[in-house]
Structure 1
Amino acid sequence: MVMPIADELLSEGMIHNELYSNISAARTDEDKMRQLFKALHSGGNKVKSAFLSMLRENDPHLVQDLVQEYNSLPGEHDRYTEPLIIQKHRQQREREEEIRSTGQNFYQVMGQRDSKAYKSTKVERLFDPDEHGDIQRTVILQGPSGTGKSFTTQKIMSDWACERLYQDRFDFVFHLRCKELNQATGNKSVMDLPNYDQSLSSMIKQVLRQSPERVLFLVDGFDELKFPLDVPKDSLPRDPWTQCSPEETLSGLIRKQILPESFLLVTTRSTALDKLNGVVKNPVRYAEIVGFSKEGVEEYFQRFFKKEQHSQQAYDTVRKNETLFTACFIPVICWIICTVYREQFEEGTEMIQSLETTTSIFVEFVATLLKHHSQDMGQSVLTILQGLGKLAEKGMEEQQVLFDHDSVSQTVIM
């Protein structure tokens, strides 16, 4: 993708003709990349920022693979702690009971969910036969935001690729992110949707023709789809090579018009479950990620911190605070809390007693991110935090939860 990006940089006036000629004249792709790097290095932050935007547009999968959180150091990736997954449709009163509970009482309620009555299960057992010996080829994994649905699909991909999961069940696993599918243009077949090594095309075609039951599709983030899937059944494709609109192709896959013998795992927020139910073909197995159990939270703290002393100190501090301890059942919030406390340990400061609410934790977390990533914004961390605070206050007054890029840019001048 060097030349397409170089073309855009030239048209935007980010590099001059001589540098562009040097890139174009380089013999190998590696030499072209070296010349492009020289251009970026001499152009400063403005050119680097433009390059990153173009790279995201031209090769989003590469960026996703390369970009890591700033605080993930070598050897720190083995933090995965499996969340509690249940296979029971819960009543409204049960959800209300969880919302009303806090602290130890909350984890006692959650402990009841991790029981035979609630049919708790593991990722590796999602496609096992039921008590009657029947196999559901479609599994819907629902749960609130932040409970680990997307991370679970990524973990499935990683473990399958490393032959730690499903190696005896599936020959191919394809990961389809609905957020990326929203950007799809033109007609696409099922095999045009996932990103995979084209050298495997002939092998994939052979498996799809001869053993479709050896293929798993992971459709992640159904609730994020911007196009409808209520497509007339007659217009749906019936094979993975027919090119149709993205909504027709994805609808055909989820409705089992395409590759009915293949396996399908769809993740969604519970708010979009009714919409999904109107698309999927029965029989379907329902599972729900509830969050971390009490034991899961303690395990995550132990995995997160390098030193056992830090792990125990942070965990003891949070356990004494009902608000923070309850919030830790949501994996993403547990990660945020651990990140904030680790920052305090690395700076050699004592545990901050004012970090007693989720708001104070979030403010400290955002301040930590800005400290590492706001060097080119032209404003102090405090000024940016104050601007974000005003934006949050406005959101509360107007009952607005999400803010678009323009709203943030108007509040925080970058």
Structure 2
Amino acid sequence: MEKRGRSKMEIVPSESHSFIKLLKVNREHLVTHIRNTQCLLDNLLQNDYFSNEDAEIVCACPTQPDKVRRILDLVQSKGEEVSEFFLHVIQQLADAYVDLRPWLSEIGFSPSPLIQSKAVVNTDPVSGYSQKLQQQLGRDSKFILCYAQKEELLLEQMYTDTVVELVNFSNESLGSLDSLACLLDASTGVLNEQGEIIFVFGDAGMGKSMLLQRLQSLWAAGQLDPGIKFFFHFRCRTLSCFKKSAALCLQDLLFKHYCYPEQDPGEVFAFLLRFPHTALFTFDGLDELHSDFDLSSEPDTSSPWEPAHPLALLASLLSGKLLKGARKLLTARTGVEVPRHLLWKKVLLRGFSPSHLRAYTGRMFPEHAVRQRLLDQLEANPNLCSLCAVPLFCWIIFRCFQHFHDAFESSPQLPDLTVTLTDIFLLVTEVHLNRTQPTSLVQQNTRSQTETLRAGRDTLCSLGRVAHRGMEKSLFVFNQDEVQASEVREGDLQLGFLRTMPELGLGGEQQSYEFFHLTLQAFFAALFLVVDDKVGTRELLRFFQEWTPPEEAVATSTCYPPFLPVHCLGGHDLHGEDPFKNKDHFHFTNLFLCGLLSKGKQKLLQHLVPTAALRRKRKALWTHLFASLRSHLKSLPRVQSGGFNQVQALPTFIWMLRCIYETQSEKVGQLAARGICANYLKLTFCNACSADCSALSFVLHHLRKRLALDLDNNNLNDFGVRELQPCFSRLTVIRLSVNQITDSGVKVLYEELTKYKILTFLGLYNNQITDVGARYIARILDECKGLTHLKLGKNKITSEGGKSLALAVKNSKSIFEVGMWGNQIGDEGAKAFAEALRNHPSLTNLSLAFNGISTEGGKSLAWALQQNASLRIFWLTKNELDDEVAESFAEMLKVNQTLKHLWFYFCSFCKKSKSYCGHAYQKVTTSASRPGAPVCGRCGNSHWVLATAWLPVPVCLGRNSDKNLHWAP
């Protein structure tokens, strides 16, 4: 229809000033595409171009096209100025007249200064609804949610960035996210152009919900993509509040259960359907979605007007069957996966780095003296500091400190020595139970922790009962009947542990409740299991059955995306296992159970539970923990590699270590260490954070043998390195690549590793090490005489750091391999490495790829290789090498007889350069073979490889000038 209308229209340039003629010539086009007459009438009336009688004449027309015709007649009859203003309104109100944008652009309409001075009011329903959404989200996101309902902290004042990384399908880092606005940027981190989901994941407490709240705040303030006109935010756990019989169309879900348009909902919804790319949906906590409703009996939901269960609508939105083209941002805890074909981006939250923690401390404690006192305590307690890397736990610890400061201003003190997560949650429980105590200006509350918990036993039991009942069903939202059935009193609700649901209407007319965070629900569930006399051994150990690794389960789902929980989609015959269900809430319950039943807590809890019952539960837990640990260690996959007996651990092993650490039992730690028979422990991609290093050290320091430890691709940062100190005396291989480690962490490595001097392999690839850290690493190389492998690629090392490392390499008689890919050592650093290469006795593999090396540095390296008989593989990929360098390497080839692989991929050599090396190659080898050269995977001959691509086997890529020389394409 648009093409038919526009084919007949005539463009009359606005410079002719005949706006009346322009409207007459394009009358049919305007009648066809103007759907909103109210905005025109409002503005014509506002500026006294129309009278009330004119408006009444227009409104009396029976159809919308007739109204447009009558407006055009009246406008043209009133002259050029009114006609020009008519076009100005259409141009200014782009949302209301979106179909006329191309036409206005083609005619080149530009209003006169007089018309530009006229006020244009926007009464368009779409714009009005967008403004209402902005106001609602701005109001809802203004304050940070806190434990205590009465507290209000401004998001703008308290929000602190965390480490946010773009990752690929395999969760390998693609670089940090510069700002939250970049989440929607199509120029970076896109994995699949056809995907629509931005998947944000991270461990519990890493700040996923806070990130969404910040994103809402930015959109409400107009600081996100201006093309996004609609922002719909849903928390997945609230969708479980709908009854099985609930059936809604998409319009009702968005308008009646989120935000209702004040005018013309049909027009707003029609705009959304026509332009879905103007909408952003956020769904928080996919792993918290729970329903026993069988959606397999529901037909596919692809019609926006067809009523369906809200979970079916969610599935269809995420899969693109509804509102295809809309951007969807989905959060979940680590372990939940989304099908690749639906992903647009993957984003991993890693929590607070040391610099972020300092910034957060400054926001929480603006007074310098108080802030410094807290930082001093954290510095003295690495264990507590590592817990603070998780934003949620950091906030809890800081609130406790703030309470102590207010109550005992003379010497506020956090717990000393080793602090477990159980200690922290017991502390926050004590702090909030003491809120109920009357305050006095002259007398401070001096109740001990034991007295406080004993006085609040009934409250703890009732809250624990709610938490446990929910945990059994993976429920995180409770209606009023469930809360009352657990004997929760009104005063208990005022403590802030349970809060009312912020969303209204989803759970019906009754009020719904939830715990502040799933970790808090897990803590109260564990407390209930310990304190309640009626809990038997079987029920006590119920959640340990959830330790079965999710990798062993098999997904079966047909009609709906497999990332929706199978129990929501009617999946059966899975032996009771849901492979897409995140189990953190069960694991946290187990962890807190181990902490509460530890020997150190026995004195505290004996006032809440009979001693005999406590002893019985402790014995049952230890017996089960030993058996589970032994069974799990035996089941771990093992391989023989590089002279090591290597065991590949799974994330479940990390959770077991956490539980062992919570017990604070040296006996348990010794038994766990005894079960590690391998001498190479591989914990890559296990979602380990800095606090897990405390648990790891707690076990590994009991080992009597030396060990290789691979912790690549986790989230340890400098706090984690400090927590590994007790086990450095056992480690010969340390791999800490992709772990957010800075120079501070490297300094700790230097101080510890040079005490024992047993290190043979140090991997620190893709961290944040600068020249300062490079100097520490050089000293490690100087003092650890057995170090053979050093991996330092993709850090922030420049020429100064490069020179320090090169000097250490030169002096080392043991170093075998050095990886420096992706730094910026430049020509000065290359010259230093050239000096190190000259007559080096042991260095066999060296990578200086992507290091900003140009002519002078390249020539120095070529010259040095003429005097080197050890190097076999040399990478110079992605440098700025030219023909002079090629000629130098050609001369080197005539002399060097040991080099087998020389990589120049992505270097700027021309055909002349190839000829240099080709002639040199012809002189030093025949076409048949060169001693020790690899076999070509294409032609079958033995060739010296000058340059290859990314292929795993050296491949002949064609002959240049009849020379058997391998060049990358």
**Partner of 2:183 in structure 1?**
126
1:265 equivalent among 329, 334, 338: 329
User: Are the equivalent residues in 2 in contact too, given 1:173–1:217 (CA < 8 A)?
Assistant: yes
**Partner of 2:219 in structure 1?**
160
Q: Does 1:248 align with 2:312?
A: yes
**Partner of 2:452 in structure 1?**
381
C-alpha change, 1:313 and 1:205, in structure 2 (3 Å) is same
User: Are the equivalent residues in 2 in contact too, given 1:142–1:288 (CA < 8 A)?
Assistant: yes
Question: Which letter maps to 1:299?
Answer: A
**Partner of 1:365 in structure 2?**
428
User: Are the equivalent residues in 2 in contact too, given 1:129–1:135 (CA < 8 A)?
Assistant: no
**Partner of 1:294 in structure 2?**
354
Q: Does 1:350 align with 2:411?
A: yes
Cα root mean square deviation, aligned? 3.8
Displacement, 1:245? 1.4
Q: Structure 2: state its 5+ residue gaps.
A: 1-138, 439-449, 461-523, 545-585, 591-607, 610-969
SS at match of 1:163: coil
Displacement, 1:144? 0.7
User: Are the equivalent residues in 1 in contact too, given 2:200–2:349 (CA < 8 A)?
Assistant: yes
- CA–CA distance in 1 between the matches of 2:302 and 2:152? 46
Displacement, 1:68? 5.5
**Partner of 1:151 in structure 2?**
210
SS at match of 2:158: coil
**Partner of 2:279 in structure 1?**
215
- CA–CA distance in 2 between the matches of 1:355 and 1:192? 54
- CA–CA distance in 1 between the matches of 2:140 and 2:217? 17
**Partner of 1:339 in structure 2?**
399
User: Are the equivalent residues in 1 in contact too, given 2:201–2:348 (CA < 8 A)?
Assistant: yes
Q: Does 1:137 align with 2:196?
A: yes
Matches within 5 A, 1:393-412: 393=530, 398=541, 399=544, 401-402=588-589
Instruction: Select the structure with the greater relative contact order (CA < 8 A; seq sep ≥ 6).
Output: 1
User: Are the equivalent residues in 1 in contact too, given 2:167–2:189 (CA < 8 A)?
Assistant: no
2:157 equivalent among 78, 82, 100: 78
Moved more, 117-126 or 301-310: 117-126
C-alpha change, 1:252 and 1:234, in structure 2 (3 Å) is same
- CA–CA distance in 1 between the matches of 2:169 and 2:303? 36
Give the percent of matched residue pairs that are identical in Structure 1 and Structure 2. 21
- CA–CA distance in 2 between the matches of 1:132 and 1:352? 44
Q: Deviations over 1:159-218 (max 9, x none)?
A: 21222333x131010001111100123102233334113416346314303321110000
SS at match of 1:290: strand
- CA–CA distance in 2 between the matches of 1:73 and 1:171? 29
Question: Which letter maps to 1:247?
Answer: L
Displacement, 1:264? 0.3
Displacement, 1:72? 3.1
**Partner of 1:407 in structure 2?**
none
User: Are the equivalent residues in 1 in contact too, given 2:201–2:347 (CA < 8 A)?
Assistant: yes
User: Are the equivalent residues in 1 in contact too, given 2:240–2:289 (CA < 8 A)?
Assistant: yes
User: Are the equivalent residues in 1 in contact too, given 2:163–2:351 (CA < 8 A)?
Assistant: yes
Q: Structure 1: state its 5+ residue gaps.
A: 1-61, 95-112, 404-410
- CA–CA distance in 1 between the matches of 2:316 and 2:272? 15
- CA–CA distance in 1 between the matches of 2:169 and 2:390? 18
User: Are the equivalent residues in 1 in contact too, given 2:165–2:177 (CA < 8 A)?
Assistant: yes
- CA–CA distance in 2 between the matches of 1:349 and 1:385? 28
Question: Which letter maps to 2:157?
Answer: D
Moved more, 305-314 or 347-356: 347-356
Question: Which letter maps to 1:155?
Answer: R
- Give the structure-1-normalised TM-score: 0.65
C-alpha change, 1:148 and 1:249, in structure 2 (3 Å) is same
- CA–CA distance in 2 between the matches of 1:144 and 1:296? 17
**Partner of 1:237 in structure 2?**
301
C-alpha change, 1:353 and 1:311, in structure 2 (3 Å) is closer
User: Are the equivalent residues in 1 in contact too, given 2:142–2:217 (CA < 8 A)?
Assistant: no
2:238 equivalent among 149, 173, 180: 180
C-alpha change, 1:256 and 1:228, in structure 2 (3 Å) is farther
- CA–CA distance in 2 between the matches of 1:393 and 1:263? 45
SS at match of 1:238: coil
C-alpha change, 1:353 and 1:245, in structure 2 (3 Å) is closer
SS at match of 2:231: strand
- CA–CA distance in 1 between the matches of 2:406 and 2:267? 49
User: Are the equivalent residues in 1 in contact too, given 2:377–2:414 (CA < 8 A)?
Assistant: no
User: Are the equivalent residues in 1 in contact too, given 2:248–2:308 (CA < 8 A)?
Assistant: yes
Question: Which letter maps to 1:319?
Answer: E
SS at match of 2:262: helix
**Partner of 1:224 in structure 2?**
288
Displacement, 1:231? 5.8
Question: Which letter maps to 1:366?
Answer: T
User: Are the equivalent residues in 1 in contact too, given 2:199–2:343 (CA < 8 A)?
Assistant: no
C-alpha change, 1:156 and 1:343, in structure 2 (3 Å) is same
C-alpha change, 1:283 and 1:125, in structure 2 (3 Å) is same
- CA–CA distance in 1 between the matches of 2:322 and 2:341? 12
C-alpha change, 1:228 and 1:353, in structure 2 (3 Å) is closer
- CA–CA distance in 2 between the matches of 1:312 and 1:334? 16
Question: Which letter maps to 2:369?
Answer: Q
- CA–CA distance in 2 between the matches of 1:140 and 1:230? 25
Higher Cα radius of gyration: 2
SS at match of 2:395: helix
Q: Does 1:88 align with 2:188?
A: no
Displacement, 1:142? 0.7
More helix by share: 1
C-alpha change, 1:68 and 1:390, in structure 2 (3 Å) is closer
Q: Deviations over 1:235-259 (max 9, x none)?
A: 3222433211122111110000001
C-alpha change, 1:192 and 1:320, in structure 2 (3 Å) is farther
Displacement, 1:363? 2.0
User: Are the equivalent residues in 2 in contact too, given 1:189–1:244 (CA < 8 A)?
Assistant: yes
User: Are the equivalent residues in 2 in contact too, given 1:76–1:304 (CA < 8 A)?
Assistant: no
Displacement, 1:119? 4.2
- Give the structure-2-normalised TM-score: 0.29
User: Are the equivalent residues in 2 in contact too, given 1:141–1:266 (CA < 8 A)?
Assistant: yes
